[in-house]
Amino acid sequence: MKLIPKDDFQEELVIRPLHSGDIYASFQFRTLWDTDFMRENKVSHYRLFPKSLGQVISKFSVRELHISFTQGYWRTMQWGQPFIPSPPGAELWVWFQDSVTDVDATWKELTNVLSGIFCASLNFIDSTNTVQPSASFKPLGIGNVTDHSFLRYATLPREIVCTENLTPWKKLLPCGSKAGLAVLLKSEKLFHSSFHSQAVHIRSVCQDWQCKTTSWELRQTVNSVFDLHNSGQAKREWSLFKMFSRTLTEACPLASSSKLYIDITDNPQGEQFELSPATSLLSQAVVLGDRRTFSVYDLTQETTFGSVRSLNLLIRWKSNEGEMLRPLLHAERYVAGYGLQTGEIHTLMYNNHPYRSFPVLLLDSVPWYLRLYIHTLSVTSKGKDNKPSYIHYEPSKDRVKPHLLEMLIQLPPNSVTEVTVQFERALLKWTEYPPDPNHGFYVGSSVISSLVPSTVAMDTNSTRERPLFSSFFPCKEESSYFVRIYTEPLLVNLPTPDFSMPYNVICLTCTVVAVGYGSLYNLLTRSFQIEEPNPGLAKRIANVIRKMRGVPPL
Amino acid sequence: MLALLMLNILAYMTPNPDKTQIIIHLLSVISQNSAGQFFSSGHTNNWAVLVCTSRFWFNYRHVANTLSVYRSVKRLGIPDSHIVLMLADDMACNHRNPKPATVFSHKNMELNVYGDDVEVDYRGYEVTVENFLRVLTGRLPPSTPRSKRLLSDDRSNILIYLTGHGGNGFLKFQDSEEISNVELADAFEQMWQKRRYNELLFIIDTCQGASMYERFYSPNIMALASSQVGEDSLSHQPDLAIGVHLMDRYTFYMLEFLEDIHPASKTNMNDLFKVCPKSQCVSTPGHRTDLFLRDPGSVLITDFFGSVRKVELTMDAINLTDPIKQMEENPVNGEEQKEVYSYADQLPVSEIIHQKPKQKDWHPPDGFILGLWTLILLVFFKTYGIKHLKHIF
């Protein structure tokens, strides 16, 4: 009898009503497997863990893999902080094991394989948009060694997310999209939202609080924000059926836990919104520096579904009041300047804490065709110069690698920090332009990693019983929590040549040559003779009569 | 009686991890005659290469054309692993689409050809002439995933469908490059020489489409086009809510024709040639069968649009292996001193600051400048004589 290591699957959905009337829904599906992909005997019996990802991990000696596909931009000021942040487009960052000898070649092969698995154009990731961050993107899983030469980060801001990416993503789940929470993932509703992000995160985690053994964790997450006005309703009322066009009928039979959390922290007495069917299960969790209260629906219990055997949650808003907790850190980025030669990139970081300052690590990866003038780099807070305590800059090389700028900046309390750098636009070779060059060229989002002071004590125990949304980022100290923010991507116009110019030039030149040379040739080579004009009819008849008479003609 | 027997499904193609619609033919109803016919067609597997070559929102109809053929081909049994779908632009999740994640073929949004289960292999900027020819000839870089390859053999029937904007002898890819009919004919000849197909059906829906198959010279190719040389292929109908034309006429009527086909139907190619006469299409569809060995009347539609699964009956019982059990949790041994793991620190500020050694400005060694000037003066006076000394002091 063959023995396979234990595996476990959990699923959860967190619904958080936002103050603007929108709804933030966050799905997380986690598979834990106590196997070892790195040993010599190949793993051959896959049960809950998808085989395609398991083979990727063992073939490319992956220590950690994070890939996300996002449509839309997360608006921190209106929606707060997301549970799992992601930049617009596609983002991929991978930590390889120490045993990998040629990281770049392995990275190239890995991106090609992933482009086949997720039906995305990840094969466009090459050395011109890959960077090796020197201090950001520390591993989120188990790891004592952090040699950054095994880390690669790349982003494709232009990448589109659509049903063709959701389809293979759903097929990685143990229950597929047939049972459990994944039945709610219908593409027509998910892509008609203000923000949609789907991600896959693979890492090693501790098996228990002693952390003597590790297991592999695969998290598949979907974060969506549904717009009130998009759904065409004037009433502020949400139900699972309206959001997802489905209701829940059962939990995934392979799941050990299947839960639905509704965030009711702003609604302790039910004065903001009303939740039906009511539930008595409550749970508290500390997430993103705040203690939140949740109503819990346990889908593994038969009683949750009631007599109709389906759960259609209804949230009816009663009042518009209520202050949203202002996020302590948020950032903006824009391009300033005019014309097609130069420009300036401005990144603004807001620290909204009244009296605490905290450090942020800013990572900027700018493509080579925007030539940054690093001597114009300036970091100012409250009008005064703010010297970063750590700067790492890797200059770009034309057509080989992009700029990499990493800075550790201390943000003073209640202030705006502005980072500006000037750039010049390069003229590309005419074959390097995409088929629609007048759309512009994208510059990937900046990544801001920070330890933000927390209002309540964070939970540093890494136990498995915590809900999934609160255990994504590991927590080492109680007074602060780790957060990662992405700014907007930039769309920059490069000087674009007129692609019809060769055709026009050929036409014009050929015309000029034909007309000019032809006329000149005729003038030079033809001889001229004077020709009598044809006499009129009357004269011709008169000449004929004269010829007959023998008289000389007129 | 035969229903009580176990059907052992033998797939000639490698099983793919995705769900496959396996058509189980109950051989109890097939008499000896049709069993012979069932196994006499020359091919054992089916492939489809469906390409849309146009970019931009106003070319919505080309994507809808390709997706409607994709939908028919999937419905008739060809699995995603055997379909190479290339769409040059994204219409479903385009920001101009009033109904995201949908692509409609009929006005009033009757039929969503995009569906919920679609896998696009080449999308956006990847749809280029080079990639198309590499897929056909099989000359792809070694790291290309399987879903992007055409892994056909000499017993494969391949359906190739192209749509976009074209002219006399060329087809435009993405508004920036063209493929000519000579290149296409040479690619098919390479495929024939490397035995990459058994029979090939080539359908093209562009303006002057017939010019694209004029140059073929490899055997076993049948070609259909939506218009003759000198004629334009026209689009079918606009939808006022979406704002663009939804389909081209030829593919629209071909879709209607294919909707009536089911996996076991016996319709043959002569019916496909009659699709969209001049009265409906305004252009004259053309076809070419001189390179094809069999008579078109004996070629079934499902030979190219459907998929073949061979089924073998067996009378033996098969023993299944024992179920796989999960390992029990090992009790932690007190003697073993395993190392304790821990999570990495996400933002170790002091470590980061001390990562780079402080840059000290480099000064030349002490006395170096003084010595350098002394050397220069010495050499000068040695060369030109001591009398110049008075000019210095």
pLDDT at B4: 40
Would you tell me how many other CB atoms lie within 10 Å of the CB of residue A352? 15
Nearest CB to A119; choose among B114, B121, B339 = B121
Spatial contact of B14 and B39, defined as CB atoms under 8 Å apart: no
Q: Phi/psi at B211 (nearest 5 deg)?
A: -70, -25
What distance in Å separates residue B179's CA from the closest CA in chain A?
15
Round to whole Å and give the CA distance between B181 and A421: 51
Which range is least confidently modeled, A172-186, A310-324, A426-440, B96-110? Answer: A310-324
**A301/A257 Cα distance (integer angstroms):** 10
Chain B partners of A169 at a C-beta cutoff of 8 Å? Answer: none
pLDDT at site A322? 67
Are B193 and B240 part of one and the same domain? yes
A55: CB partners within 8 A, 6+ apart: none
Q: Using CA atoms, how far apart are residues A154 and A135, in angstroms rounded to an integer? A: 15
Distance (Å, whole) CA A142 – CA A140: 7
Q: Which residues of B29-44 are buried (b: 16+ CB within 10 A; e: fewer)?
A: eeeeeeeeeeeebebb
Q: What is the mean pLDDT of residues A56-82?
A: 93
ipTM tops the 0.95 cut:
no
User: Which candidate from A2, A167, A389 shows the least CB-CB separation from B118?
Assistant: A167
CB < 8 Å to B118, chain A: 163-164, 167
Supply the mean pLDDT for chain A.
Answer: 89
Q: Which of A19-23, A352-356, A369-373, B95-99 has the lowest mean pLDDT?
A: A19-23
Which residues in chain B touch residue A142, judged by CB atoms under 8 angstroms apart?
Answer: 341-344
> Which chain A residues touch B90 with a CB distance below 8 Å?
160, 162
The nearest CA of chain B is from the CA of A514 a distance in Å of: 27
**B99 is in which domain, residue-wise?**
45-305
Please say whether the beta carbons of A452 and A360 come within 8 A. no
- From A198's Cα to the closest Cα of chain B, the distance in A is 15
B344: nearest CB among A143, A163, A359: A143
Q: What is the largest CA-CA distance in chain B?
A: 128
Selected residue of A112, A136, A162, A256 to mutate for chain B interface (largest B Cβ count, 10 A): A162
Q: Are residues B263 and B294 in the same domain?
A: yes
Would you state the torsion angle of the CA atoms of residues A185, A186, A189, A193, taken in this order, to the nearest 10 degrees? 40
Look at B100 and A192 and tell me if their CB atoms are within 8 Å: yes
CB-CB neighbors (< 8 A) of B347 in chain A: 138, 359, 361, 449-451, 482
**What tokens does A318 get?**
């009663």
- Residue B266 maps to a domain: yes
Residues B280 and B200 in one domain: yes
Residue B177 sits in the same domain as residue B280: yes
Last residue within a domain, chosen from B256, B271, B305: B305
- Cβ contact A436–B56 (<8 Å): yes
Which chain B residues have a beta carbon less than 8 Å from that of A473?
A: 346
Closest partner CB to B93 (pick from A71, A121, A474): A71
**Eight-state DSSP code of residue A427:** P
Q: In the A/B pair of chains, how many CB contacts fall below 8 A? A: 180
Are residues B301 and B174 part of one domain? yes
Subunit contact A5:B326, Cβ cutoff 8 A: yes
CB atoms A7 and B117 under 8 Å? no
pLDDT higher than 80, residue A163: yes
- Smallest Cβ–Cβ distance between B119 and the set A124, A168, A435 belongs to A168
Q: What percent of chain A has pLDDT over 90?
A: 59
Burial class, B66, CB count within 10 angstroms (exposed 0-12 / middle 13-18 / buried 19+): buried
Give the separation between CA A513 and CA B211, rounded to whole angstroms. Answer: 33
HSE-up of residue B333 (Cα within 13 Å, Cβ side):
5
Mutation target among B125, B151, B326, B343 for the A interface, most CBs of A within 10 A: B343
pLDDT for A6 beyond 90: no
Same domain, B145 and B214: yes
CA separation, residue B98 to residues A162, A187, B244 (Å): 15, 14, 11
Task: Dig out the tokens for B56 from the structure.
Answer: 């931009």
Q: What pLDDT does residue B16 have?
A: 46
**What is the least distance, in Å, from the CA of A18 to any CA of chain B?**
23
| Min distance B32 CA to chain A CA atoms (Å) | 40
Based on the domain organization, do B18 and B51 belong to the same domain? no
- How far apart, in whole angstroms, are the C-alpha atoms of residue A441 and residue B360? 39
What are φ and ψ of residue A206, in 5° steps?
A: -70, 145
Mean per-residue pLDDT for A225-252?
A: 80
**Contact yes or no for A1 and B324 at CB 8 A:** yes
Rounded Cα gap, residues B254 and B272, in angstroms = 8
- Per domain, the residue ranges of chain A are 19-236, 237-319, 329-492
- Considering the candidates B52, B207, B276, B281, report the single residue annotated as catalytic: B207
Residue A348's pLDDT band (cuts 50, 70, 90): very high
Q: What gap in Å lies between CA A343 and CA A353, rounded to an integer?
A: 32
How far CA B48 is from CA of A6, B85, B303, in Å, comes to: 41, 8, 12
Residues 6+ apart with CB under 8 A from A344: A335, A336, A337, A420, A421, A422, A423
CB contact under 8 A, A167 and B116: yes
Phi, psi (rounded to 5 degrees) for A83: -70, -45
Residue B197 lies in a domain: yes
Per-residue pLDDT of chain B in tens (393 residues, 90 and over written 9): 444 444 444 444 444 444 443 434 444 344 444 555 555 568 889 999 999 999 999 999 999 999 999 999 999 999 999 999 999 999 999 999 999 999 998 877 788 999 889 999 999 999 999 999 999 999 999 999 999 999 999 999 999 999 999 999 999 999 889 999 999 999 999 999 999 999 999 999 999 989 999 999 999 999 999 999 988 888 888 888 888 999 999 999 999 999 999 888 889 999 999 988 888 888 899 999 999 988 888 899 998 998 877 678 889 998 888 877 777 655 555 445 667 888 888 888 888 888 876 666 677 777 888 899 999 989 988 888 777 667 766
Q: What single DSSP character describes residue A495?
A: P
B386 in a structural domain = no
The enclosing domain of B54 has a CATH number of 3.40.50.1460
Q: Which stretch, A45-49, A53-57, B2-6, has highest mean pLDDT?
A: A53-57
Closest CA to B97 of A233, A191, A491: A191
Residues A107 and A115 sit within 8 Å (Cβ to Cβ): no
pLDDT number for residue B2 = 45
Q: Which of B119, B147, B353 sits opposite A408 (nearest CB)?
A: B353
CA distances in angstroms from B313 to A241, B10, B133, listed in the order given: 46, 9, 40
Give the residues across from A230 on adjacent strands.
Answer: none
pLDDT recorded at residue A463: 60
Contact criterion met (CB < 8 Å) for A135 and B355: yes
Q: What are all long-range contacts of B260-263, with beta carbons under 8 Å and residues at least 24 apart?
A: B261/B72, B261/B76, B261/B301, B261/B302, B261/B305, B261/B306, B262/B76, B263/B23, B263/B76, B263/B77, B263/B302, B263/B306, B263/B307
pLDDT score, position A114: 96
CB contact under 8 A, A3 and B326: yes
Count of other CB atoms within 10 angstroms of residue B281: 21
Interface probe for B, chosen from A158, A160, A226 (most Cβ of B below 10 Å), is: A160
Cβ-Cβ contacts under 8 Å, A5 against chain B? 326-327
Establish whether B281 is a catalytic residue.
Answer: no
Counting every residue written for chain B, the total comes to: 393
- pLDDT tens-digit series, residues A516-545: 999 999 999 988 888 888 878 888 888 888
Chain A residue with CA closest to B358: the answer is A390
B35 and B49 in a single domain? The answer is no
Contacts 24+ apart (CB under 8 A), A202-205: A202/A53, A202/A57, A202/A62, A202/A64, A202/A65, A202/A66, A203/A63, A203/A64, A203/A65, A203/A139, A203/A140, A203/A141, A203/A142, A204/A63, A204/A64, A204/A141, A204/A142, A204/A143, A205/A32, A205/A141, A205/A142, A205/A462
Identify whether residues B90 and B237 lie together within a single domain. yes
Taking alpha carbons only, the member of A174, A253, A163 closest to residue A218 is A174
- What architecture does CATH give domain A329-492? Sandwich (2.60)
Same domain, B21 and B82: no
Contacting residues of B for A34, CB less than 8 Å apart: 327
B30 and B131 both lie in a single domain: no
pLDDT tens track for A472-497: 888 888 888 999 999 999 999 999 98
- pLDDT given for residue A197 in this prediction: 96
Best mutation target among B346, B349, B350, B353 (most A Cβ atoms within 10 Å) is: B346
- Residue B52: active-site member: no
For residue A531, the distance in angstroms to the closest alpha carbon of chain B comes to 47
Q: Which of A305, A244, A216 is nearest to A23 (CA)?
A: A244
A245-301 tens-digit pLDDT: 889 998 999 999 999 999 888 877 777 788 888 888 888 888 888 888 999 999 888
The encoded tokens of residue B368 equal 């170096």
CB atoms A163 and B114 under 8 Å: yes
pLDDT of residue A233: 61
Residue B236 lies in a domain: yes
Q: Report yes or no on B366 lying in a domain.
A: no
pLDDT above 70 coverage of chain A, percent: 97
From A186's Cα to the closest Cα of chain B, the distance in A is: 8
CA angle A153, A161, A238 (to 5 degrees): 120
Domain membership of residue B368 (yes or no) is no
Comparing alpha-carbon positions, the chain B residue that sits nearest to A473 is B346
Quickly tell me which residue has 């054309």 as its tokens. Answer: B65
CA distance linking residue B328 with residue A5, whole number of Å: 8
Provide the shortest C-alpha distance from residue B201 to chain A (in Å).
Answer: 26
Query: Quick check: B208 and B232 in contact, CB under 8 A?
Result: yes
Q: How far is B75 from chain A, CA to nearest CA, in Å?
A: 17
- Mutation to test the B interface, candidates A188, A406, A475, A480, most B Cβ within 10 Å: A188
Taking an 8 Å cut-off on Cβ atoms, the answer to whether B355 and A143 are in contact is no
- Mean pLDDT value of segment A64-86: 93
Chain B contact set for A143 (CB, 8 A)? 343-344
Q: A-chain residues within 8 Å CB-CB of B359?
A: none
**A392 vs B contacts (CB less than 8 Å):** 356
Which residue from A17, A30, A176 is spatially nearest to A472, judged by alpha carbons? Answer: A30
Q: Which residues of B touch A171 (CB under 8 A)?
A: 17-19
Mind spelling out the 3-state secondary structure of chain B? CHHHCCEEECCCCCCCCCCCCCCCCCHHHCCHHHHHHHCCCCCCEEEEEEEECCCCHHHHHHHHHHHHHHHHHHHCCCCHHHEEEEECCCCCCCCCCCCCCCCECCHHHCCECCCCCCCCCEEHHHCCHHHHHHHHHCCCCCCCCHHHCCCCCCCEEEEEEEECEEECCEEEECCCEEEEHHHHHHHHHHHHHCCCCCEEEEEEECCCHHHHHCCCCCCCEEEEECCCCCCCCCECCECCCCCCECCEHHHHHHHHHHHCCCCCCCCEHHHHHCCCCHHHHCCCCEEECCCCCCCHHHCECHHHHCCCCCEEECCCCCCCCCCCEECCCCCCCCCCCCCCCCECCCCCHHHHHCCCCCCCCCCCCCCHHHHHHHHHHHHHHHHHCHHHHHHHC
User: Which of A3, A158, A171 minimises the CB distance to B18?
Assistant: A171
- Asked if A144's CB is within 8 angstroms of B327's CB, the reply is no
SS3 A30: strand
Backbone angles phi and psi of B68, in degrees to 5:
-70, -35
Residue B349 counted as domain residue: no
Q: What is the mean pLDDT of residues A441-465?
A: 84
